Amino acid sequence: MTDPLKSRVVRHSPSTGEGSPDVWGIYEPDTGSIQYICADPATRQAALIDVVWNFDPKNYRFSTESMDQVLDIVRDNDLKVQWVLDTHPHADHVMASAHLKERTGAPNAIGALVPEIAKIWADIYNLPEAFAPSRDFDHLFEEGETFQIGDLEAKVMLSPGHTLGSITYVCGDAAFVHDTLMQPDAGTSRSDFPGGKTAELWDSIQDILALPGNTRLNVGHDYGTKERKEPMWEATVDEHRAHNIHVKDGTEREAFIERRQTRDKTLALPNRILAALQINLRGGRLPEAEDDGHHYLKLPVNRFD
């Protein structure tokens, strides 16, 4: 029997009515990442969110299965890509942003505080001139900014904690909450990367849980649990407030912070992080090829416990 946690699972969450988008979630099994298509049912205009450029950390080779799969869904549902969006510079997968921009002609975007994240990592890599998000993204979204997906209005929420510049996209009754919440039976995401802060993660989650109770919260990752052996990524605000094991109603802020920090101290770095951030902070582009025609990444040694 095929293990769902090792399969490229796709689920469609249909529009619930006027002002509500169609959402497709596409599970990427190598990293447990969820990629999204958010589309206006009336105009068929769509945004692609947090799509993966597949990277094999054992052989340092790239492939395009995930973005190909996403674009196949776009084609099969007669959608037109209007935006290529990311919620933050991912640590566990390489973003497909630059490739999707080239393949679709749509502008790519991320949050306005990503240049501050770039400064932190430019120091860690000792690459002071390497990263220029305003060069590699067509738009940097500010807190509270709105934009259109077809006739639907989408709004940006600043959601720091996992990174200092993570953003949430809210479109009608769907919100794309990235590495803040996980599924209710799994809790929340880590906050121990450079620039991350557990107290800010708590505040960001409280802002998300203040959205209307029927809002579909689409999380950035799922790894299953001991009891649940299939990937899941959508639950409502009400479901999280009732059942999320880390932040359900009645949870005290200090108790969450202690629990989250204790858990984070046990976690190793993701096995793609030192490659992924060096690429993601370039908008999903490799460093320029050197005189032999090949691309090279720089890896800091003894910078992390």
186 within a domain of the structure (yes/no) = yes
C-alpha torsion sign, points 273, 278, 283, 289 = negative
Domain containing residue 95: CATH number: 3.60.15.10
Task: Give the rounded distance of the alpha carbon of 262 from its chain centre.
Answer: 24
276 within a domain of the structure (yes/no) = no
Name the residue range of residue 244's domain.
4-268
126 within a domain of the structure (yes/no) = yes
CA distance 40 to 87: 20
Comparing CA positions, the residue from 109, 23, 28 lying closest to residue 63 is 28
294 within a domain of the structure (yes/no) = no
Count of the separate structural domains present in the chain: 1
Q: Which residues face 149 on adjacent strands?
A: 152
289 within a domain of the structure (yes/no) = no
For the chain, the maximum distance between any two Cα atoms, rounded to a whole number of angstroms, is: 60
Please write the tens of the pLDDT for every residue from 84-111. Answer: 999 999 999 999 999 999 999 999 999 9
CA distance 182 to 143: 22
79 within a domain of the structure (yes/no) = yes
CA distance 185 to 233: 11
Please write the tens of the pLDDT for every residue from 146-195. Answer: 999 999 999 999 999 999 999 999 999 999 999 999 999 999 999 999 99
193 within a domain of the structure (yes/no) = yes
Q: Identify the three-state secondary structure at position 173.
A: coil
Q: Which residues of 95-127 are buried (b: 16+ CB within 10 A; e: fewer)?
A: bbbbbbbeebebebbbbbbbbebbebbbeebeb
279 within a domain of the structure (yes/no) = no
Please write the tens of the pLDDT for every residue from 195-208. Answer: 999 999 999 999 99
What is the pLDDT at residue 3?
80
What is the pLDDT at residue 146?
98
Which helix H or strand E contains 177, and what residues bound it?
strand 174-178
- Concatenate the DSSP letters of all residues of 214-227 into one string: T-EEEESB----SS
